[in-house]
A and B are shown apart, each in its own frame.
Chain A
Amino acid sequence: DGGITQSPKYLFRKEGQNVTLSCEQNLNHDAMYWYRQDPGQGLRLIYYSQIVNDFQKGDIAEGYSVSREKKESFPLTLTSAQQNPTAFYLCASSARWSGTVRPVEQYFGPGTRLTVT
């Protein structure tokens, strides 16, 4: 089955610890994204990558880092500098926009719910 996997589903960490969230896709998509969702709020973009070995900061990149060494994988690391990391983290992927009018659809993994105490 093609899709996006994220692990773990739930993660508990102590404040001050670095955390790495996994995201893997087998959809052969070039673009991958990390979002954060807080209760009652919309999705906010953390980082995105349109191609291997390249990524750009989103709206709330401070305290986060990513790597894109393989097309299938886009792990997200939360450093101790992240002020309020408790949230629902969603990874997504899409085909790369080819400049045509056809929509580029984005698909989501099941998410990782992170709690930091």
Chain B
Amino acid sequence: RKEVEQDPGPFNVPEGATVAFNCTYSNSASQSFFWYRQDCRKEPKLLMSVYSSGNEDGRFTAQLNRASQYISLLIRDSKLSDSATYLCVGNTGNQFYFGTGTSLTVIP
């Protein structure tokens, strides 16, 4: 079983919609989690980190449920520029475990 698993999508949503991605992890010792966005043929860029119950930054909210071992990312009021692949990452010490990513396309 993979350390971190994500629904690959694709998610196609209209501009202005709210979209949520879920991610599950298998290592209960994981200390913190991250969401990265990766544009086509570019490097991943850190979007949010979460190590307590959740974190919010503008239109983006990340939540962590340690009892059920899942992390979610909520994007409100989707913009065309939000189209990208979103990577869920778990962290234990200096080890990072990447999901395969969820593809999002925001449609005009």
Contact = CB atoms under 8 A, between A and B. Distances in A.
A28 B91 CA distance: 20
A109 B43 contact: yes
Q: Looking at chain A's contact residues, is the secondary structure mostly helix, strand, loop, or mixed?
A: strand
Interface residues of B, number: 23
B99 A42 contact: yes
B46 A101 contact: no
20 contacts: A31-B94, A42-B87, A42-B99, A42-B100, A43-B44, A43-B87, A48-B94, A90-B44, A94-B94, A102-B51, A103-B34, A103-B50, A103-B91, A104-B91, A104-B94, A106-B91, A108-B44, A109-B43, A110-B42, A111-B43
Interface of A: 31, 33, 35, 41-43, 45, 48, 50, 88, 90, 92, 94, 96-97, 101-111, 113
Contacts of B87: 42-43
A105 B100 contact: no
B93 A101 contact: no
